[in-house]
Amino acid sequence: MPSLECDLNSYTRTAAGMIRPMKLDFSDRNPELGRLYAQHIEEICRRHDHALESAGASHAVIFSGAPKYAFLDDNTYPFRANPHFLGWAPLTQLPLSYIVYTPGETPVLVYFQPHDYWHPVPGDPDGYWTSHFDIRIVHEQKDAAAHLPESREKCILIGEVGDENHAFGIDRVNPNTAINILHFARGSSKTAYELACMRLAARRGALGHIAAAAAFDEGLPEFAIHQAFCSATRHAESELPYSNIIALNEHGAILHYTDLDREAPAELRSFLIDAGAQVHGYASDITRTYSKGDERFSDLVARMEALQQDLVDRFRAGVDYRELHLENHRLTAGVLIDTGLASGDADTLISEGVTSAFMPHGIGHLLGIQVHDVAGFMENESGTTIDPPSGHPYLRLTRVLEEDMVLTIEPGIYIIDMLLDDLRGTPAEAMVDWPTVDALRPFGGVRIEDDVRVLADGCENLTRDAFAELRQA
């Protein structure tokens, strides 16, 4: 089994084999975050100044969002705050609230604290962010109107407004001119505060991965491994930035496998985990693949680990992501040849679609408040988009890398019969070694994923750094 990237013996183990998390400060009392937040909010104000000027508006009203009820039910889905709202304040669970921003004035936070004995009520505002707002607590949602600008025609509203009552007469909702500016800025660079949150999210996610790998080593089923991850990260399921992919054996070939079997398979062969954590809305997104000892699959994992690190080494400002994606296919062709999955030369394997059958997705995406963060295709703040290379439609990022972008890098190789069967009856069929495919099918696939910050002359690997910090603790 490959290294867990951390010495498990350095952690206190519970009777259930779980890892007891280190004392990491994920709270909104964290002094490091408080120090950086002041600069962050200044940058957020500058972005909104520009967006408002371009949209010909005087005020931005940012709605946190409203609970959504299941059809014919009185239960709501887990609440997800508007990411624009989260960019202002770390309030992931504050529905029916508003931030009102007018250039040159202190932002107003209309803080909804309902009179409610059926559900938990948000506590009084507290934390490093509070001194940067004029906070006005309301107990009835209708009372929010009194704290919004009177000149509704000079306002834009940013957020999802399913009920027109939440717009309070503001007609301009998510105007493209303003949204494009805000999205492009968010995708182009992260503030020092955001980077600090994402480093914490990486450490939190790494703790979960260590616990999950230990659970796999103990022979636990997918559901129990998932529980081990959540316990180590101290996340409820609804708090995860995305649904955990916990895939044993052939389930690793399903790119977004989330079924979570309750019983362990008769034979444990492989484990692919794609799972992240969040801190104040900012996400980590980490994938690791483990072998239970099979020599051929272990070799494939090791080669994909080396391939992924090769790609990471190529990251720096000014590099075209599309070229990195195409380079990944050249590297993937080499792995397919070296492991006996395919034969021929790299160019032919690419042109005939062999590499795409084994690696059908892009090698990464922007990361931030949203796991698949916005502006991955934007060429500029006007909203012009950049097309993916021909034959590669599934990319989530087509931009030239910029300093302080944060993105994932996640190459993979999978045995996906639906895609491989498309090669049969074509010239590509003879390039595939079908007995090797049959031998590796029970293992599903391999994916390795890190979160990286782009620098002028390289990158900061948030994921590898997180594992290293935990190892040294």
Residue 117 lies in a domain: yes
Please check whether residues 155 and 84 belong to one and the same domain.
Answer: yes
Question: Domain boundary at 128, 145, 174, which?
Answer: 174
Please check whether residues 109 and 170 belong to one and the same domain.
Answer: yes
- Decide: 389 and 355 in contact? Cβ < 8 Å: no
Q: Read off the pLDDT of each residue in 413-436 and give the average, rounded to a whole number.
A: 97
| Main-chain phi, psi angles of 94, to 5 degrees | -135, 75
Range of the domain at 84: 58-174
3-class DSSP assignment, residue 202: helix
CA–CA separation, 75 and 421 (whole Å): 43
CA–CA separation, 305 and 447 (whole Å): 9
CA–CA separation, 165 and 154 (whole Å): 18
pTM above 0.85, yes or no: yes
Whichever domain contains 123, its CATH number is: 3.40.350.10
Dihedral sign from CA coordinates of 444, 450, 451, 452: negative
> Does residue 8 register a pLDDT over 70?
no
Instruction: Return the closest-CA partner of residue 92 out of 127, 59, 116.
Output: 127
Residue 455 lies in a domain: yes
- Decide: 114 and 139 in contact? Cβ < 8 Å: yes
Dihedral sign from CA coordinates of 419, 425, 430, 434: positive
**Percent of the chain at pLDDT above 90?**
90
Please check whether residues 308 and 420 belong to one and the same domain.
Answer: yes
> Does residue 10 register a pLDDT over 90?
no
Q: Quickly list DSSP for 375-421.
A: -TTBSSTT--B-PPPTT-TT-S--SBP-TT-EEEE--EEE--HHHHH
Question: Domain boundary at 139, 174, 209, which?
Answer: 174
> Does residue 25 register a pLDDT over 50?
yes
Please check whether residues 226 and 116 belong to one and the same domain.
Answer: no
Whichever domain contains 338, its CATH number is: 3.90.230.10
Please check whether residues 211 and 139 belong to one and the same domain.
Answer: no
Residue 336 lies in a domain: yes
Residue 446 lies in a domain: yes
- pLDDT value of position 21: 43
Mean pLDDT of the chain: 93
- In tens, the pLDDT along 121-173 reads 999 999 999 999 999 999 999 999 999 999 999 999 999 998 888 999 999 99
Residue 88 lies in a domain: yes
Please check whether residues 157 and 202 belong to one and the same domain.
Answer: no
Q: Return the structure tokens found at 39.
A: 């600069």
Please check whether residues 253 and 343 belong to one and the same domain.
Answer: yes
Give residue 275's region: left, alpha or beta (phi > 0; psi -120 to 50).
beta
3-class DSSP assignment, residue 251: helix
Question: Domain boundary at 120, 141, 174, which?
Answer: 174
- In tens, the pLDDT along 333-370 reads 999 999 999 999 999 999 999 999 999 999 999 999 99
> Does residue 19 register a pLDDT over 70?
no
Please check whether residues 161 and 239 belong to one and the same domain.
Answer: no
- pLDDT value of position 23: 59
Residue 16 lies in a domain: no
- Decide: 284 and 370 in contact? Cβ < 8 Å: no
Please check whether residues 342 and 208 belong to one and the same domain.
Answer: yes
Please check whether residues 159 and 213 belong to one and the same domain.
Answer: no
- Decide: 325 and 357 in contact? Cβ < 8 Å: no
Q: Read off the pLDDT of each residue in 189-216 and give the average, rounded to a whole number.
A: 97
Please check whether residues 226 and 363 belong to one and the same domain.
Answer: yes
- pLDDT value of position 31: 85
Residue 135 lies in a domain: yes
DSSP, res 452: E
- Decide: 284 and 241 in contact? Cβ < 8 Å: yes
Beta bridge partners of 348: none
Residue 312 lies in a domain: yes
Confidence of residue 13 (pLDDT cuts 50, 70, 90): very low
CA–CA separation, 146 and 138 (whole Å): 10
Instruction: Return the closest-CA partner of residue 410 out of 337, 298, 344, 332.
Output: 332
> Does residue 235 register a pLDDT over 80?
yes
In total, how many domains does the chain have?
A: 2
Please check whether residues 165 and 199 belong to one and the same domain.
Answer: no
- In tens, the pLDDT along 292-311 reads 999 999 999 999 999 999 99
Tell me which of 10 and 438 has the higher pLDDT.
Answer: 438
Dihedral sign from CA coordinates of 214, 410, 245, 196: positive
